[in-house]
Amino acid sequence: MSESRESKIRARLEARFTPVELQIRDQSHMHAGHAGAADGRGHFAVTIVSSEFAGTNRVQRHQMVYDALRALLESDIHALRIKALTPDER
């Protein structure tokens, strides 16, 4: 069995951000049948807490997460909800 999409996302985020907290939820079932789901890529929601986000604004945090997942955005991820916090903001 191939590596699940969720574990691919997890591996990349852990390598890039060494998060103190990381939750990944596969919400693809909530979108089955709509146009964006037709190519088989999934909908995911990520909550990530990492000191790497210190001193950055919301747009930059999302860009950092997108950067870490760039290759997967082409192949596995159609949509991504992101909540990115520093440990202090939790």
Binding site for other proteins (CB under 8 A): 31, 34-36, 58-59, 62-63, 66-67, 70, 73, 79-83
> Between residues 34 and 54, which has the closer beta carbon with respect to other proteins?
34
For residue 58, the SS3 value is helix
SS3 of residue 50 by DSSP: coil
Closest distance between other proteins and the C-beta of residue 56, in Å? 13
Nearer to other proteins, 1 or 52 (CB): 52
Q: Shortest Cβ distance from residue 6 to other proteins (Å)?
A: 18
The token duo for 77 is 């991820």
Q: How many Å apart are CA 44 and CA 73, to the nearest integer?
A: 11
Q: With beta carbons less than 8 A apart as the criterion, state whether 49 and 65 touch.
A: no
16 versus 62: smaller Cβ distance to other proteins: 62
Least distance between other proteins and beta carbon 19 (Å) = 17
CB of 44 closer than 8 Å to CB of 79:
yes
